[in-house]
Chain A
Amino acid sequence: MAKNNNLGDFLKSLADKFRSKLGTTIKINPQDFESKVDEVYNKGKKEEYDTFWDNYQQNGNRTNYIYAFAYGGWNAETFKPKYDLTVQLGYCENMFVYANIAGSLKTILNDCGVKLTFFQQAGREYGARYVFVGTKFTEIPELDCSQAKGDQAIASLFSDSKLIQTIEKLIMPTDCTGYGKNTFYGCYALENIDFGGTIKYSLSFQHCPLSADSVYNILNHLDTEGYTGTRTITLKTTSKNAYQGKYSNWDEKISQLTTSGNWTFTLT
């Protein structure tokens, strides 16, 4: 800026600078300069945000999110997606593996105004494995895994996520040949979970201090059609006791399910 002794020219020059940075042609009075500094700063921050996320999410077209938010560089300050996370099954593995993003994923996504969804590419048969391994999330929003396929459809989906307390709803795969192991392995804080669809294969909640209502949700989403193989639900004894304390029909319910659905139940 050229040095001059004319205050009026100086103020005009400042106003021109503000208009240039803000992309406006409106008149700006000197008494508004202080607020304009904030506007310029915030606009710059927004442009940096847009530049990063437009590129990182390919203007909303990205569908391959393998390791996309993995490890320590991602935390609640940096994880602020601009576009819906529309993730192709099979290309979601380790999406959040050991990320430092603490708190409710449901709240974070709501605050960003975006959703997390999975889809199956036509002709493919991939699952939703390892997506949330070792995360620090406390709450997971509704997850639609109905299109997941294969025999490891939701293997290790939440494995080692020790802080998850609530999974709003897990919509189960409708057309897979197995879930795989360790879906909830190490989920030592998981109390609340609901399901959509039908549970058809073995699941273990051996580490999960499930509430009575969560056990109720599990039992009432178990497939009851004829099944010739072996399938097992593993629960903590404390979870079974919580269910029995509230619903008082454990024996009756288990009797139905071991008979009509050929389910085995294991208490740890």
Chain B
Amino acid sequence: MQTETINTTVLIADEGKILTDGEVYGRTIYLAKNRSPEEFHEITEAEYEEIQKQYEAEADNI
């Protein structure tokens, strides 16, 4: 994971990884002022795909 600051803290996932705080997922995160990088961690793309499949299954059950 790389971190750079442009008046805003930006988290950029390493190649093949996705960032998440357990709620939202993304390759690049522009952090709100009241949040810290420690709230986010990386998961693999495969793990992300699996989570998305679970969300799709939940959406189909509406």
Contacts and interface: CB of A to CB of B under 8 A. Distances in A.
Interface of A: 97, 130, 133, 156, 159-160, 182, 185-186, 202, 204, 206, 228, 230-232, 234, 237, 251, 254-255, 258-259, 261-268
Contacts of A266: 19, 24-26, 28-30
Contacts of B15: none
B17 interface: no
Contacts of A230: 23, 32, 34-35
Contact of B30 (A228, A264, A268): A264
Contacts, number: 77
A128 B55 CA distance: 21
Interface size class of B (residues with CB under 8 A): 20 to 34
Given A232-B23, A255-B6, A265 B62 contact: no
Nearest to A264: B32
Highest count of chain A CB atoms <10 Å: which of B8, B27, B60, B62: B62
B33 A258 contact: yes
Contacts of A185: 55, 59
B2 interface: no
Contacts of A237: 27-28
B31 interface: yes
A262 B8 CA distance: 11
A262 B59 contact: no
B32 A258 contact: yes
A264 B59 contact: no
A97 B60 CA distance: 11
A159 B61 CA distance: 12
Contacts of B59: 156, 159-160, 182, 185-186
A73 B8 CA distance: 51
